[in-house]
Structure 1
Amino acid sequence: MSGALADFHFLRATWLLFFIPIAILWWVMRPKPNSHSQSITGIAPHLAAALTLGAENKKRVYPIDVAMIAAILVTLAAAGPTWSRAPNPLVADTAPLVIALKVTDSMEEPDLPPSRLDRAKFKVTDLINTRVGAQTALIAYAGTPHRVAPLTEDANILRPLLEGLAPTVMPKQGDAAADALALAETILSDSETPGAVLFVLDDLDPSQLAAFENTTVPVFFLTMLPNGQNIAQLNDLRTATVVPFSNDERDVSRLERQIQSAYTAALDDDDRLDWQDKGWLLAWPAALLSLLWFRRGWVIRLVLLAVFFTAPSGPAKADGWRDWFLTPDQRGQIAMSQKRYAQAAELFDDPYHKGYAQLKAGQYPEAAAVFAELGTPEAAFSEGMARIRNREYRPAIAAFETALERRPDWPEAKQNLEVSIAILEYVETTREQSDTGEEAGIGADDTVFDNEAGRGENTTIQAPTEGGQAMSADQWISTIDTDMQDFLRNRFLLENQEQQQ
């Protein structure tokens, strides 16, 4: 709250000068109570008050009072009060999150049935489900940290990997929380959006505290302990946000709110982002006051009309009552939140928001044209995304190259450039082969032998055997162990060996 007050200011402060004519008009038009220089004698006080004109109006609220209050609210709205920055429309509007899950023998304790680790997996799954469309990465750590999954918006990638985590897959037991934090910071460093780290754990080695005290990334802790128990070591971390385990969804909801609050605070420190106009919030009380227009005996129609006609307004659009109180960009944002992307694209005046809405609506040529007119690296990146989705691979390559010229060492732009080049090469190679009637890897003059004699028979593979007999291809494939735990165990073991070399 204190941060919001410190950032509070007006985007169009000159509108506040209208307070001067409003105050003068209010003073001139407000009825003055009648003054009586002589007191009435010989009449009972209550009868004298009834016979005195204007005496009952000394504390009355006049129509001009309501009109001027509405004028003040509209003037404040026109001045553009703000205390937070608007998210970049070209990046995610939700904070990226790296979840570091402790996978040790202590997490197998059954005091949170069926076990602490299983309940932790349930909580992580619930959190992922609440962050639809947001990027989430997963780290598992014990004596060593391991990246289970990079930042991804696809929850279907995270779920099977999460299920495969167990203490038996970790190559080394221990508590390498500090190393896990360093790995999480590395993952977040490649993201354009400020993110956060969530540790899901049941204990923290005191030797690991120093790393958390020196980090600049928001860190949250979900403690997997029964009966609201806490981890004493975390009490020494002043900047830590600790959320205890709960049997319901309160812990997940609190984490989501805290993570989003940290994301909003990080946006306020980004000078590249525009401030978010909050003036529309004052339109609602002004609208409620305007309902008094219809009260009998209150002649404020002309004043209210003057107030509304002097308020700034955008181009006329058939959007009902919102035309009176919301700017085109605000109405476009409402349409975006309701996933009406085509309508949002028509409403937005801001080119970044318009292009992003067109991109979401599948209007790729229009979006590319909008972004091409802007001179920022984000605009060039988004133009490339629109081009590649419209299968314009060469212009997409040029757009990503432009983005890298404007911002060198941009990992996402480099990756998309490589993907675009690979797609273009594949398309051109396939087209050439199609034109010559060739198959990939088979030349026009190559001789291809067909296994006519063995057609329909099982092909045998000599290496794997079962009971001394050669197995068929189907039998051999069925013996391949695809268990996720074995996959993670082998992968983590290989990573650990590479780190030790």
Structure 2
Amino acid sequence: MTPVLVALEAFHVLRPLWLGALVPIAALWWMVRARRAHRAAPRDGLAPHLRDALTVGSDGQRRVMPIDMVCVALALLAFGASGPTWSRQPDPFVAQSAPLVAALKVTPSMTADDIAPSRLERGKQKIRDLLELRAGARTALIAYAGTAHVAVPMTEDPGVMLPYLAGLDPAVMPEEGDRPGLALDSAQALLSRETGPGAVLFVTDGLDPDDVPALSAANVIILSLLPEGQGDRGLEAVSDVPVIAVTADGADVAQIDRLLDAAQARALLDDDRQPWLDRGPWLALPAALLMLLWFRRGWTMRWVLMVAAFLLTQPASQARADGIADWFFTPDQRGRLAFDRGDFRVASEAFSDPLWRGYALYRDGQYADAAEVLSRVETAQAAFIQGMAYLRSRSYRDGVRAFETALLRDPDYPNAAENLETARAIVAYVEEAQEQSDTGEDRGIGADDVVFDNESGKGEETVISVPEDGADALLSADQWMTTVDTRTGDFLKSRFALEQNRPAPSAEADAPDGDEPREDSSQSQAPELAE
């Protein structure tokens, strides 16, 4: 189902009593039209041919009259006052895009070049295009053949996924075969940890008919990488799942995005905690355009002039407009528009509300500025986001204080207690590492400074210098990572082989080890940003 059909299905009015105003509006139109129809030209004293020549507008019943435009404008205003709506009000602290798991088939059949440059490379290209189109949406990547592996867990940063996507090749898979059921199990395990319903996109050139029932029972979309005119028994057996044929342009990716948007819109409609979004103000614009016709000669009505005179005598409030956008939108509205399109930097500059501005700064990665702005808001929500900003900027002890403040303001605030425990564990780990590094040796100066959030002062600050004699030099972890010359495919091949040999492989094992601070997962607060 497309977003348009979802909107039509959910369409209703919030204040239906206002629709009763349409009755007197229709009565007014009928009375004025009927009076106009009974106004006949004089027949006495004029010859018929002269009367016809002097009569203007004899087809008045068919001619558009001022009352027509007036009643249409009034009808639009009455319908707008009734509150038409077809979607719920979006929560700025909840992701507006459905989470997606892209399952890419990585088998020798995908290396066929009947789709240039190959089926596998075209599938990678389509995934990259989808990531660009869904910028900021949570997405994961699974590679499958005879086994299935989570190449990249859920992330909002497409740059994290691109190198792993490029490294996927049949040579990195530990076992040949075609088992999409394993990929579906791993994808559902990833989606089960998300706050909202998600979908699984299979990028494949064929399916085993035995796997079709399992895929039909899940929220799955299939992108077929078969050339035009070539069929597959498994794909042809699919009935309840949309199968989209690959195209040379972006039409297939746009269709996938529309399906995901429709699924997300339907999920938001089922959330009773969010209010409906009143679309009535939109009808004020066409009504205002119709009012412009009243400036034409012969179209102005006397009662309209009285209303205009009344409005002009009212005291005008002070207004300020720095640009064309300011004529129609408030700063917070302009900030919201920029926020919705993912331009968080512009949104942070436009917002006047400190909570919105602080959250926009946080989403833009300006964590220090976000923490400073949010300190002016005395709510649990502001303290929670402030704590996340402190953790992102590695100010762990300040993060502990922020989460404690959030719980003090609202003891039941979602995920605040869990994140407080995690932040305290990070602080304890840093302090323990600092104590263990206290060797009592002063090895001189020459290394880069390593700064820990060690407010309690445990341990000694030890400076380690890196020798310059090459062979015996001990590299730090960061230096070692920058000097490693290993292809992503080699890394994935080793990791997939290790995962295959585990006693009980699962999607849980592919996620990063350890607890990570989680953002509020409730629909009314901030989304989970763990990557």
Normalization by structure 2: what TM-score?
0.72
Preserved CA contact (<8 Å) 2:334 2:347: no
- Hey, what does 1:341 align to over in structure 2? 347
Matches within 5 A, 1:19-58: 19-23=22-26, 25-26=28-29, 32-33=35-36, 35=38, 47-50=50-53, 55-58=58-61
Shift of residue 179, structure 1, vs aligned partner: 1.7
Matched, 1:64 2:67: yes
Preserved CA contact (<8 Å) 1:67 1:303: no
Preserved CA contact (<8 Å) 1:383 1:399: no
Q: Which runs of 5+ in 2 are unaligned?
A: 446-465, 474-479, 506-531
- Hey, what does 1:177 align to over in structure 2? 180
Structure 1 residues 226 and 442, CA, compared in 2 at 3 Å: closer, same or farther?
same
Structure 1 residues 98 and 243, CA, compared in 2 at 3 Å: closer, same or farther?
same
Look up the equivalent residue of 1:179 and give its one-letter code. Answer: L
Structure 1 residues 342 and 163, CA, compared in 2 at 3 Å: closer, same or farther?
closer
Question: RCO greater where, 1 or 2, for CA within 8 Å and sep 6 or more?
Answer: 2
Look up the equivalent residue of 2:232 and give its one-letter code. Answer: I
Identity percentage of aligned residues: 43
Shift of residue 71, structure 1, vs aligned partner: 1.9
Counterpart-to-counterpart distance in 2, 1:399 and 1:149 = 34
- Hey, what does 1:397 align to over in structure 2? 403
Counterpart-to-counterpart distance in 2, 1:106 and 1:23 = 67
- Hey, what does 1:472 align to over in structure 2? none
Matched, 1:10 2:13: yes
Shift of residue 159, structure 1, vs aligned partner: 1.2
- Hey, what does 1:109 align to over in structure 2? 112
- Hey, what does 1:487 align to over in structure 2? 491
Preserved CA contact (<8 Å) 1:345 1:353: yes
Tell me whether 260-269 or 396-405 shows the greater mean CA deviation. 396-405
Shift of residue 60, structure 1, vs aligned partner: 3.0
Structure 1 residues 316 and 8, CA, compared in 2 at 3 Å: closer, same or farther?
farther
Preserved CA contact (<8 Å) 1:90 1:382: no
Normalization by structure 1: what TM-score?
0.76
SS of structure 2 residue aligned to 1:32: helix
Deviations 1:272-321 (A, max 9, x none): 22222222332332132122132122214437759999xxxx99774888
Matches within 5 A, 1:160-239: 160-215=163-218, 217=219, 219-227=220-228, 229-239=230-240
Select the structure that is richer in helix: 1
Counterpart-to-counterpart distance in 2, 1:53 and 1:124 = 67
Matches within 5 A, 1:377-456: 381-382=384-385, 384-386=387-389, 388=391, 391=395, 392-398=398-404, 406=412, 414=418, 416-417=419-420, 420-422=423-425, 424-425=427-428, 441-444=437-440, 446=441, 456=468
Preserved CA contact (<8 Å) 2:222 2:242: yes
Look up the equivalent residue of 2:351 and give its one-letter code. Answer: A
Counterpart-to-counterpart distance in 2, 1:72 and 1:6 = 23
Structure 1 residues 168 and 407, CA, compared in 2 at 3 Å: closer, same or farther?
farther
Preserved CA contact (<8 Å) 2:374 2:382: no
Matched, 1:91 2:94: yes
Counterpart-to-counterpart distance in 1, 2:338 and 2:308 = 28
Matched, 1:282 2:288: no
SS of structure 2 residue aligned to 1:398: helix
Preserved CA contact (<8 Å) 1:169 1:486: yes
Look up the equivalent residue of 1:97 and give its one-letter code. Answer: L
Counterpart-to-counterpart distance in 2, 1:94 and 1:48 = 69
Structure 1 residues 31 and 41, CA, compared in 2 at 3 Å: closer, same or farther?
closer
Shift of residue 327, structure 1, vs aligned partner: 8.3
Deviations 1:321-375 (A, max 9, x none): 87897788755533534653246533x7xx98676447558454444554x536x
- Hey, what does 1:258 align to over in structure 2? 259
Q: Which runs of 5+ in 1 are unaligned?
A: 434-438, 462-475
SS of structure 1 residue aligned to 2:351: helix
Structure 1 residues 60 and 138, CA, compared in 2 at 3 Å: closer, same or farther?
same
Look up the equivalent residue of 2:400 and give its one-letter code. Answer: R
Counterpart-to-counterpart distance in 1, 2:61 and 2:469 = 106
Counterpart-to-counterpart distance in 2, 1:247 and 1:255 = 15
Shift of residue 119, structure 1, vs aligned partner: 1.8
Look up the equivalent residue of 2:98 and give its one-letter code. Answer: A
Counterpart-to-counterpart distance in 1, 2:388 and 2:318 = 30
Structure 1 residues 307 and 429, CA, compared in 2 at 3 Å: closer, same or farther?
farther
Counterpart-to-counterpart distance in 1, 2:309 and 2:337 = 28
- Hey, what does 1:464 align to over in structure 2? none
Shift of residue 239, structure 1, vs aligned partner: 2.8
Look up the equivalent residue of 2:241 and give its one-letter code. Answer: A
Shift of residue 31, structure 1, vs aligned partner: 7.1
Matched, 1:156 2:159: yes
Deviations 1:389-435 (A, max 9, x none): 68532333326768996477x6x984x546533554577789xx8xx
Counterpart-to-counterpart distance in 1, 2:281 and 2:259 = 25
Preserved CA contact (<8 Å) 1:393 1:420: yes
Preserved CA contact (<8 Å) 1:388 1:420: yes
Preserved CA contact (<8 Å) 1:201 1:224: yes
Counterpart-to-counterpart distance in 1, 2:249 and 2:231 = 18
Structure 1 residues 490 and 53, CA, compared in 2 at 3 Å: closer, same or farther?
closer
Look up the equivalent residue of 1:275 and give its one-letter code. Answer: W
Number of matched residues? 460
SS of structure 1 residue aligned to 2:221: strand
